[in-house]
Structure 1
Amino acid sequence: MGEEARLATVLNVNDDAANRYLVNRILEMSGYHVLEAATGMAALLMAEEHRPDVIVLDVKLPDISGYEVCARLRSNAATAAIAVMHTSATFVTPDKKVQGLEGGADAYLTQPYEPSELIATVRSLLRLRHAEQQARLRTDQLIEMDRRKDEFLAMLAHELRNPLAAIMTAIGILERKAPSDTKEARMHGIIQRQTHHLARLVDDLLDVSRITRGKVELRQEPVSLTATFQQVLAILRPRVESRGLKLEVHLPRAPLWLEGDATRLEQVFTNLVDNAAKYTDEGSVTVELFQEGVDGTAQAVLRVKDTGIGISPEKLPAMFELFAQADTSLERSRGGLGIGLTLVRTLVRMHGGTVEATSGGPGQGSEFVVRLPLLPADRAPLSTGANLLDARRARRILLVEDNSDARQSMRDLLELWGHQVAVAPDGVRGVALALEHAPDLALVDIGLPGMDGFQVARTLRERVGQGLRLVALSGYGDPESYQQALKAGFDVHLTKPVRPADLDRVLSNL
């Protein structure tokens, strides 16, 4: 007699008293704790109250059938996991057995049966139930581990973005002054490229968690693909050319408008061009953006072609899968996390587009083609508008940031742009300075000690009103943080590290 027999409880449901007694004795002699019921309704009540491990359920009952009892057990969350064994002396045809098993029963015995057959079936159901319990427990553990992993990644991204924000802002200041010699210029370029690369890795690392949970969201608005791609190329060109590669670019003169998320589209373009450069040792990377089709079916086509290491036929179908990489050598000289192309496919699909990869094989280079639906002509903006960077004017700005390096570097950058800047290291002093100096705009870090950025925003909205423009600075870039910032009263949410060009664009637009 095993441990499971001494601990297991069996509910025996049968309206025939003699039959019920006989089954009770067989089960009790095998070491099981036995409960009994004579009707279907009584069985349902006892099942919910006592939660037996197994129910031996006769099909023919005086009130409701065993089929109905089983269906109700399965529909009740409290009893759905209980193992059910149908028994019957009359409903013994194959179609009746199929009906019982299809209706949720785990086993079906035809009476009369041998005691050993009954006990063997009960033990089998107990083993099955134990395995299911272990699987559910493991699933719950995995869900909890996944939740903790997501929290860790979010915290890691936040902690990494704070120092990156200070470095990136300092780079913006260094760029204002011409380097004294070629070596200094080269060092500036290295710092800039590697900081942008590190920032993108942090974003990709966090995005993979969002993708697996289906948490990636788009902030959609009319976007000019031509202008967006020009901004990306301004950053990527030095990075590509520093590898000794030639970057050939063919962009349309007219803007190509679509409904989308500019930041996410930049991420798509950056990953594709960066990927092409990373896997190309010599030669060129060619980028082409153009329109295909006519109004109503028009789409933008982006081609990114390289002369790099190529992709073998067996790896090509899996290139967009998570953690798939063309370079699987031990030295991992190409770097990367194997996340970028998965992000590309996910974001392109979310924009209603497609992406495909082709290659002639190893050493033959690769080509990635993205197709995105364009806005009809009657919905496209008439023009791209004036250059926002030219719209800059001096503002009174309050900066609330607890990281001293980030606070100082951003203050220096804003003052270089001609703004008057007051700074505060915490929320309480930030609110006091806002009430004292009446700034045009406040840049507020979310993760402040004591009074956090959300509380600062709500307080300023109550005491200053809607005239003050509020910009949230946060190491958390998930959609929940964005929505929470808007609810708290912020006008804009910027994820650290904030590129100087993006900050300037936001200030000018506000």
Structure 2
Amino acid sequence: MRAVDPADGRFQLLVEAVVDYGIFMLDPEGHVLSWNSGAEKLKGYQRDEILGRHFSVFYPPEVVAAGWPQEELRRATECGRFEDEGWRLRKDGSRFWANVVITALLDGNGRLTGFAKITRDLTERREHENALRQSEARFRLLVDSVRDYAIFMLDVDGNVRSWNAGAQALKGYAGDEIIGRHFGSFYTPEDQAAGKPAAVLVAARQHGRTEQEGWRLRKDGSLFWANVVVTAMRDERGELIGFAKVTRDMTDRRRLEELERSSRMMSQFLAMLAHELRNPLAPMRNAVTLMQLEPTASPALRNARDILDRQLTHVTRLVDDLLDIGRLTTGKIRLQREDVSVADLVARAVETARPLIEARRHTLSIELPSQPVHVEADPTRLSQIMQNLLVNAAKYTPDGGRVSVKAHAADGFVTITVTDNGRGIAHGDLQRIFELFAQGDNGTPNDSGLGVGLTLARSLAEMHGGRLDAESPGPGQGSTFLLRLPLGQHQERPAGEASSTFRVLVVDDNRDSADSACAIIRMLGYDAECAYDGTGALAAAARWRPDIVLLDLAMPGLDGYKTLGRLRALPAMEQAHVVAMTGYGSQEDRRRTTSAGFDGHLTKPVELAALTSLIDSVRRSTEQAKPLAP
């Protein structure tokens, strides 16, 4: 077979110059007659290597065995043109994905003279399409596996076109039950009548995305509070092709918000009610006082005056409780801390409750530690707690009962117990009695009160870093209330007990962390004091002049770094060691604290050995630096 010389001319030059397409001629049987530079680049054959060979050499063996090259020529002959895509071979045996166009060439009499063949390398495009298909498959699998969100597609009219597992779990419809139906089915009849489904699509179309919340319907007719995001989907020309819809069940959050809102409204109402009741109470108290000052010989009038006095005192206490509950729930109670003697605290509370205790003919016993015990607290609020406990003990114990008050200090805390042999508390009520407006189930019609006293007392105890709990063997077997408070910083030690003059200030907004650290340090034989924020640390440092400050870093307001800078500026802190005590313990964290000027770094939870070693080291260096006595 003789190769046909290519015709001269500009068209031939153009074909030869093309390098991105393989363009060549075949004879009627499929042998290569011409070969351009693009074919050489694409397939790897030089012109003299391929001319005269059958074009099936470009096909994988399995394709040749199936007779596909001859079928391509047959179809091109039959239809005049044939286009196909598939794997092809280069000279070196490597494969590429080719787009092939074969055109039948006819002479003036319509007889077949051969074929023109154009080949393009589409491997990169195919790989991109495969990657895109795989990405879409993975994304579809991801969407289908999500169960906490309903994710589905709508067409331009709002009909459901896809449905994931989360949508089925949330709304109750299987895919074959809902696909094709309008998404308005998820809206309440009222919202449907108001045209909300259509309005959502309009908003998404206009703004690209819309987010709304509201009640939605499940298949079974139950309601849930939904957060809904609808996004308009557009093609490359900007034409709307549908909507993507993501729905979350926010019912629990909605209920919590409603509870919080109701709580705030109730607190505001109680505060307003209490304030309004205060106004008439003042002149009533003045009137009773005048009656007490005015001598009267009538026993009946004196008795009526005393009844008015007792009941007015009772009403005033109820109003005070209402006011305090309102302040507590709105965060308006502020403690005025000072050094308070536990003995004085008990004495003041007993003095207030004694008239009721004596009126009920109870026996009162008091047992206090042999050494004075102090707490750093608001004396008015602590008295309020103790008065509540003593009044309750007297009120809920039958006449002629026993009431005892005991206090003991241990492990950095003082525990004050108020015990009676009265009505007792059912096991199921031991926690419920501290709930707002709750009273025990074994109450009697003669009980009085709003059920806020114990709620207030426990909250005030917790504000002091303490705890209030109740114990009882059961109804009719008496009760014990335990008030636990952290000890103050200046306890008087028993005679003969050595007291270290080495002082450690612990600063941490986590009160439990600070109080427990102080208790450990005291057990080690050192003086320790706590501060719960940066401002308190500065005040304590200026007043107490500690040798070491263990300073938390992550505190609200003045954090550890800002507090460090201000501590360094205090004259009282010139020789003090300031050690970072934090939950951050990486090398980078340690470098940062060192760079900031800290003298050491302790990582929470601090091991006892590390704490002991640090304090001993600083104490020794401090003592060595002190001048010797003359």
What is the TM-score with the length of structure 2 in the denominator? 0.39
Larger RCO, structure (CA 8 Å, separation 6 or more): 1
Task: Find the structure with the greater CA-based Rg.
Answer: 2
What is the TM-score with the length of structure 1 in the denominator? 0.47
